[in-house]
Amino acid sequence: MTTLFSFYQDIGPALSLLVVLTFLLAGAVKGVIGLGLPTVAMGLLGLAMSPAQAAALLIVPSTLTNLWQLAAGGHLFALLRRLWPLLVMTFLGTLLGSSWLGIDSGQWAARALGGALLVYALYGLCGPGFRLAAGQELWLGPLCGLVTGVVTAATGVFVIPAVPYLQSLGLGREQMVQALGLSFTVSTLALALGLAGQDALGAEALGASLLVLVPALLGMFAGQWLRQRISAVLFKRCFFIGLGLLGLHLLLNG
Instruction: Report the C-alpha gap between 152 and 140 in whole angstroms.
Output: 18
pLDDT of residue 52: 82
- Of the candidates 184, 162, 212, 159, the one whose C-alpha atom is nearest the C-alpha of residue 53 is 212
Q: What is the mean pLDDT of the chain?
A: 84
* Dihedral class, residue 12 (left if φ above 0, else alpha if ψ from -120 to 50, else beta): left
Share of the chain above pLDDT 90, in %: 28
pTM (two decimals): 0.83
Q: Is 173 exposed, middle or buried (0-12, 13-18, 19+ CB in 10 A)?
A: exposed
Instruction: Report the C-alpha gap between 253 and 47 in whole angstroms.
Output: 10
Q: How many domains does the chain have?
A: 1
Q: Are 129 and 78 in contact (CB under 8 A)?
A: no
Model confidence at 78, pLDDT cuts 50, 70, 90, reads very high
Q: Is the pLDDT of residue 13 over 60?
A: yes
Q: Is the pLDDT of residue 143 over 90?
A: yes
Mean pLDDT of 70-93: 90
Q: Is the pLDDT of residue 83 over 90?
A: yes
Instruction: Report the C-alpha gap between 228 and 226 in whole angstroms.
Output: 5
pLDDT of residue 214: 94
Q: Determine the residue type at 141.
A: G
Q: Where are the beta strands (DSSP E) in 164-204?
A: none
Q: Is the pLDDT of residue 105 over 60?
A: no
Coil, helix or strand at residue 46 = coil
Which residue range is the domain that position 184 belongs to?
2-253
User: pLDDT (tens digit, 9 = 90+) per residue, 30-42?
Assistant: 888 777 788 888 8
Using CA atoms, how far residue 248 sits from 122, 127, 148, 156, 226, in Å, is 11, 18, 20, 17, 28
CA-based R_g, the chain, Å? 17
